[in-house]
Amino acid sequence: MWDDNIAAVTRASRFDGQGARVGVDVGGTFTDLVAVHDGTLVTAKVPSVPQDQSLGVVSALETSGVPYDEIGLVAHGTTVATNALLERRGARTALVTTAGFRDVIEIARQNRPSLYDLTAPPPAPLVPRELRFTVSERIGPEGVHTELDELSVRQAVDDVRAAGVDAVAVCLLFSFADPAHERRIRDALRETLPDVFTSASSDVLPEFREYERFATTTADAYLGPGLASYLNRLAERLEEAGLPRPVVMQSSGGVIDVATAAALPSTCVLSGPAAGVVAAAYVAGQSGYSDLLTFDMGGTSTDVGLVLDGEVQMTTGAMVSGIPVRHPMVDVHTVSAGGGSIAWIDSGHALRVGPRSAGATPGPASYGHGGEDVTVTDADLFLGHLEDGATLGGEVVLRRDLAAGAISKLAADLRLDPVAAAEGVVRIAEAEMVRALRVISIERGIDPRELTLLAFGGAGGMHACRLAEELQMTRVLFPRAAGVLSALGLAVSDLRRDYVTPLFGPVDELNASHLETAFAALEERARVELETPALERSADVRYRGQSFELTVPAAEHAAVASAFHAAHERRYGYHLTDTPVELVALRLAARSPVPKPALTVPAAAPRPEERTRRAHFGEGWVEARVVEIGALRPGDTVPGPAVVELPEATCVVRPRWDATVDETGALVLERR
């Protein structure tokens, strides 16, 4: 059932550059679509269908109006894997490991989830103890200590069968150095239990450190059946409609074919957020900006990232709902603050916002779908930042009277004026977003004042100016496709595969031939799976005695140490030239580029009559100018206070800010 031979499928899914490229991003509230064809962008936004995300994908494709026979590629960003981890709704999973080590995923690390709360429980492991089985074997750094006992393998397979699980992870000691025992167990499980999803750590994450390797592989198995079922269902629906099988966004910012994504689900846990940062780098480059803080505010959460010198910043892993997932991924920090985040009063009678979200159903109070809780969207509507009667996603009509009713109830409970309550909801959400932006910039050793804040997402443009003010930034870039930018990122993302191999030793003792031999093996695999990809070498490096690494370019052996010193200085503020530098692992990123269009401004619509809207910006009510983006031409300037309305988003130009349209149609907001 679970096909391990994916190279042929990967080649068959390559995009030949013919036809439209379509990106579909599924969020918690809306599903966004962007189609790129002959340099023209077609967009669509429809409500998400949480029960079956594939229905939202099909609905977006139908709404777009793009003829199916003109579509050459469908790229998809999904939250199925992310939500399964966050909500602990993955498969019933077993673990097979070396005798004596079945509790590695529970012992974890010594760091506590809450530094000052000694009673806070750590996150529960994905596999309970009764579903962890062991085999008799032992491999060490020097080789085999204890041969694999076949009787214990048969017993483990029988135990897995008797447990009635849907997935199993196989994680043995030192299998990253010698995978023979692990693969024997993996093959025995797949042969005997073909309907059970099987993940082996030597396939998923051939790196040292048992806990991270065990945890990532366990997560891979835990997510496998659900993600594979969803992707297969989506592929079948698209094929029935005469569309190509989809490619899927990975956490690394590149897309892979649907079979590979189903076989390695742990690589897709940050699928949607990664696409947004990729698109941000692309559109900012078209506008002439290369150093960015990216700010993506959707309905459920806000994702922030970093782009330096036009390159999306990467990391080698992240904690997702308390589970370490060690894969190359776009360096994104996520907080539970979005347009649908619910305002509530805690036991100390303080106003709080999030992490609970109203989602697509019932949605904010202003949707009129039965929601009664105040959300950030309701506050924005009440304050005049959104239009009363505006339509979202073609189906949702915003009603200010419903928002005002919900806010009045909240204000009464807080003993506040409704305007003060609405402002409080917005400011609390913005404070959470500012903290996220500080994490991705200041805590990385980057001064945000030297960067441009690129805002996108359905709600990003309404809060960007105030966030920039908090960070003392003077420029905001708001792309024309801001409301569906993650979908655009999917449409322009390259096919990508990532590879890693362990290589331990001091840099000055491992000569260039050691690196060349190891990289050559990885590059051979890459060329089989992606034919003629562009290759990028990097290495995980540390000072001797450190327990953490930094990933630096490794195109040349002679430059590895100096690159590491510079990276360490930038991240931590110092470097140690008299301390030996050690290699830990080599990494290879293989990309198969797709053509990317130049962004152009569509013909301007006739300028409508000037109109204003009563809006509140924290300093009292004013009559703010309201402008439709379609009526603006390159070079036009909109002074604040003003609201610029786009088909899928809204941009608030606060007082003392000016918004100018550039040659790509983006709004460049600058603080006076």
Q: Which residues of 627-660 are buried (b: 16+ CB within 10 A; e: fewer)?
A: bebbebeeeeebebbbbbbbebbbbbbbeebbbb
For residue range 608-657, what is the model confidence (pLDDT) as tens digits? 777 999 999 988 899 999 999 988 999 999 998 999 999 889 999 999 99
For residue range 436-458, what is the model confidence (pLDDT) as tens digits? 999 999 998 899 999 999 999 98
Question: Which of 314-323, 410-419, 662-671 is predicted least confidently?
Answer: 314-323
Q: What is the pLDDT of residue 13?
A: 36
Q: Alpha-carbon distance 187 to 3, whole Å?
A: 12
Domain 7-84+229-268 fold = Nucleotidyltransferase; domain 5 (3.30.420)
Same fold, 7-84+229-268 and 495-592: no
* Residue 334 in this model has a pLDDT that exceeds 70: yes
Q: What is the pLDDT of residue 18?
A: 66
For residue range 382-401, what is the model confidence (pLDDT) as tens digits? 999 999 998 876 678 999 99
Question: Across residues 474-500, what is the average pLDDT?
Answer: 93
Are the beta carbons of 192 and 166 closer than 8 angstroms? no
* DSSP H or E segment with residue 15: none
**Domain formed by 495-592, architecture:** 2-Layer Sandwich (3.30)
DSSP structure class, residue 558: G
Residue type, 148: L
pTM here is 0.87
* Residue 6 in this model has a pLDDT that exceeds 70: no
Question: Across residues 35-43, what is the average pLDDT?
Answer: 80
The alpha carbon of residue 167 and the mean position of all alpha carbons in its chain are separated, in whole angstroms, by 24
Q: What is the pLDDT of residue 644?
A: 95
Question: Across residues 495-518, what is the average pLDDT?
Answer: 92
Mean pLDDT value across the chain = 91
Task: Name beta bridge partners: 47.
Answer: 30
Residue ranges per domain, the chain? 7-84+229-268, 341-426, 495-592
